[in-house]
Amino acid sequence: MPEQAGDPLWEAGHVPTAEELGEATRRLDLAMVRLNAAVARRLDLSPAELMAITHVNAAGTLGPSELAHRIDVTTGAVTALVDRLTERGHLERRPHPSDRRKLLVQVTPDALDEVMRHVMPLVQDIRALASGFSEEERATIGRYLEGLIAVIERHARDDGGDA
> Domain map of the chain by residue range?
36-156
pLDDT of 145 reads 95
| The CATH number of the domain covering residues in 36-156 | 1.10.10.10
Close Cβ partners of 65 (under 8 Å, ≥ 6 residues apart): 75, 78
- Reply yes or no on whether the pLDDT at 2 is more than 50: no
pLDDT of 158 reads 64
Q: Average pLDDT, whole number, for the chain? A: 89
Backbone CA torsion sign across 42, 46, 51, 52: negative
The span from the first CA to the last CA of the chain, in angstroms, equals: 30
- The confidence band for 123, taking pLDDT boundaries of 50, 70 and 90, is very high
Report the predicted TM-score, pTM, of the whole model to 2 decimal places: 0.81
pLDDT of 8 reads 57
Q: Is 115 helix (H, G, I), strand (E, B) or coil?
A: helix
Running DSSP on this structure, what letter comes out for residue 2?
A: P
For the beta carbon of residue 77, count every other beta carbon within 10 angstroms.
13
